[in-house]
Amino acid sequence: MNYVLGVPRYANTAPLYHFLQEGEGLRFRYGVPTELNQWLLEGSVDLSLVSSYFYLANAHRLKPLPDFSIADLGPVYSVNLFHKVPWGQLKRIALTTESATSVELLRWLLEAEGIRPEYTPQAGGLELLDDYDGVLLIGDRAIQTYAGLLPALPESVHRVPWQVGGVQVTDLSMKWYQRTRLPFVFAVWATRKDEPPPPAVVRKLRAARQKGLGNLETVSQAEARRLGVPQPLMQHYLWNFRYQLEAPDRLGLQAFAQAVGLAYPDDYWDI
């Protein structure tokens, strides 16, 4: 019988599973975050990366591993609002349909500054700027779009442009950091609350993460080829993440729960 892992096929999760092998009772099921969230609740996956907002909203049914996250401190580069008018003048925004966390983060950041635009779930890319003031993109689509806008790779991250031509790029994680001085946790590994994760599976996950982070150049080369973006950009993108859910990340998750009016259970598997 297979134990099923729910995995978003995003570059930012690749260091966690690039060296994880299917077989011997372990199987992957790929999907976007909104799909994985539902599959975990309905029981068609056993352990999954789930959006932090979805986890917090369903904390009475879900419980996360204690030491896994998709988080970062400062810019994340792949949760971006691409917009053609200044941030304070946004009136109509097209939203990704792939993730609830980024949508809730965007709402909170805008409302914190008294901005209340009209939101429309809409699949697509920058072409949506023909009809909307801004478009929220996440994951691979966001990093590909951002890479496509860059005229050249800068030598220093401090020279990364956040406006190219008529398109402004607001990195939501950086915006969060500027307001809170905390990391932002985008996802955690979680199971249903009544189904503890098998220790053998958790050991495999930890070993795969250790190998992935220790061989980041290999992982970034594979992901850069898959997405068609420069490898140095991909490597910087990946080493920028925090994959361990350490104390500052938990504080960031707690702050996000408070920001969106949800309880923070502070309850993790002891494994």
Place of tokens 């914190």: 112
d(CA 59, CA 102): 18
The three-state secondary structure class of 187 is: strand
State the Cα torsion 16-187-136-11 to the nearest 10°. Answer: 0
- How would DSSP label each residue in 212-246? HHHTHHHHHHHHHHHHT--HHHHHHHHHTEE-S--
Contacts of 232 (CB under 8 A, 6+ apart): 153
d(CA 56, CA 119): 22
Q: What is the pLDDT of residue 54?
A: 95
Global model pTM greater than 0.85: yes
Q: In 119-150, which positions are buried (b, 16+ CB within 10 angstroms) versus exposed (e)? A: beeeebeeebbeebbbbbbbbbbbbbbbbebe
Low-confidence residues of the chain: pLDDT under 70: none
Q: What is the pLDDT of residue 158?
A: 79
124: amino acid identity, one letter? G
Question: Residue 196, Cβ neighbours under 10 Å: how many?
Answer: 13
Q: What is the pLDDT of residue 9?
A: 85
Q: What is the pLDDT of residue 58?
A: 97
The three-state secondary structure class of 171 is: strand
d(CA 80, CA 143): 9
Q: What is the pLDDT of residue 20?
A: 93
d(CA 205, CA 198): 11
Q: 225, 52 in Cβ contact below 8 A?
A: no
State the DSSP code for 3: E
How do residues 190-215 score in pLDDT, each as one tens digit? 999 999 999 999 999 999 999 999 99
Query: For residue 33, how far is the Cα from the chain centroid?
Result: 9
Q: What is the pLDDT of residue 153?
A: 80
Q: What is the pLDDT of residue 201?
A: 95
Q: What is the pLDDT of residue 19?
A: 96
Query: Is the dihedral angle over the CA atoms 93, 36, 143, 109 positive or is it negative?
Result: positive
